[in-house]
Structure 1
Amino acid sequence: MVNKQIPKFKNEDDERKFWETHDSTEFINWTHAKKITFSKLKPSVKKISLRLPEAMLEELKLLANKRDVPYQSLLKIFLAERIEKELHRV
C-alpha cells in the first residue's frame, strides 16, 4: 500500500540523497511496474578541469588518433580500466 507522496527535489543530488535513506516501497506501488529498457540513456557526467603535462597530453592525443577516437574518450577508457583493476585487486 502506497501512502506517502514523493517530495519535489531541487536537483539530482538531493534526489539521490533522499533515495539513499528511504525505501521506495513506501512511495511506489511496484506491483504495477513494467520492465523497460532505456537504450539511449547516458550516465550523468560532471565536467572537471584536469591539468596534465603537455607531453602527456600530446602522447594521449597520438594514441587516440591511432585508435580513431577523441582523446577525452580514450582518457575515460583508460581511467575506467584502471579503476576496475584497482577495485578488484586482491
Structure 2
Amino acid sequence: MSRPRKTVPEFKSEAEERAFWETHDSSEYLDLSQAVPTSLPNLKPSTKTISLRLPVSLLERIKIEANKRDMPYQSLIKAWLAKDVEEKNKG
C-alpha cells in the first residue's frame, strides 16, 4: 500500500524549484510506480576516450579506406564496430 504523497508546490522560477529539490526528497512527492518509460532519440550519446593500439599497417589501411569514403578514420572505425556488434546481437 503506498503512502500519501506531499503536494509539489508552485515555483516562481527555476532557481526556486532547484533550491527546493536540493533540500527535499523527491520520493515524498512523486509516485514512481506511476512513471511511464520515455525515449529521447535525439540525444547525442555520451562518448568515452579510449586508447587502442593497432599495427601501423592496419591503421594506414583504415585511413586509406576512410579517405575513399571522405570521412575521418576514427568515425569509420566506430561505424564498423557498431555494425559488427549489431550483427552479432541479431544472430
Structure 2-normalised TM-score?
0.58
| Identity between Structure 1 and Structure 2 (%) | 42
Given that 1:2 and 1:25 are in contact with CA atoms closer than 8 Å, whether structure 2 keeps it comes out as: yes
Instruction: Please say which structure displays the higher CA radius of gyration.
Output: 2
Stretches of structure 1 that go unaligned for 5 or more consecutive residues are 7-23
Which structure is higher in RCO with an 8 Å CA cutoff and minimum separation 6? 1
Runs of 4+ with >3 A deviation: 1-4, 27-30, 35-39
The number of equivalent residue pairs is 67
CA RMSD of aligned residues (A): 3.2
Stretches of structure 2 that go unaligned for 5 or more consecutive residues are 7-24
Given that 1:64 and 1:74 are in contact with CA atoms closer than 8 Å, whether structure 2 keeps it comes out as: yes
Structure-1 residue corresponding to 2:21: none
**Matched residues in 2 for 1:80 and 1:64: separation?**
16
Structure 1-normalised TM-score?
0.59
**Matched residues in 1 for 2:46 and 2:40: separation?**
17
